């Protein structure tokens, strides 16, 4: 047995790619560190192991920062098709009543509008 270099991805991979439709208009929010963000919920169709579409959708929370994300606030509305590439992150917070909450969300690195501007037809 050799002592060669470990495989390149031995530390794990955190990569998410989605294509879906915005459930509602994206909303602006400010992160605890002051970063302006665009938050949205994307409905992604279910696909089975054979690649065939299955009934239902998966709802995914997506957050993006930077200029592209802020541009989306003015350019896109609920129902629009969007492509998202990013990573999965854990969001943690405490409610006013003291209850600790967590959820996973996709932190988008790239966002692409897949419908022509003004076209949100099914």
**How confident is the model over 8-66, as pLDDT tens digits?**
656 678 999 999 999 999 999 888 888 889 999 999 999 888 888 889 999 999 999 88
Predicted local confidence at residue 82, as pLDDT = 94
Residue in 108, 94, 113 with CA at minimum distance from that of residue 37 = 108
Task: Give pLDDT tens digits for 73-104.
Answer: 888 899 999 999 999 999 888 999 999 999 89
Predicted local confidence at residue 122, as pLDDT = 47
Helix (H) or strand (E) holding 109: strand 100-113
Q: In terms of pLDDT, which residue wins out, 1 or 119?
A: 119
* Other CB atoms within 10 Å distance of the CB of residue 37: 19
b/e string for 4-27 if b means 16 or more Cβ within 10 A?
eeeeeeeeeeeebebebbbbeebe
Tokens of 72: 């989306």
């Amino acid at each position: 047995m050799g002592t060669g270099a470990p495989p390149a991805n031995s530390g794990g991979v955190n990569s998410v790619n989605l294509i879906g439709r915005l459930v509602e208009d994206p909303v602006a929010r400010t992160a605890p560190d002051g970063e302006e963000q665009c938050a949205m919920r994307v409905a992604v169709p279910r696909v089975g192991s054979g690649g065939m579409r299955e009934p239902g959708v998966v709802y995914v929370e997506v957050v993006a920062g930077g200029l592209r994300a802020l541009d989306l606030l003015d350019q896109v509305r609920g129902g629009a098709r969007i492509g998202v590439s990013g990573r999965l992150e854990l969001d943690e917070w405490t409610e006013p009543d003291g209850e600790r909450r967590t959820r996973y969300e996709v932190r988008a690195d790239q966002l692409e509008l897949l419908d022509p501007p003004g076209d949100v037809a099914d």
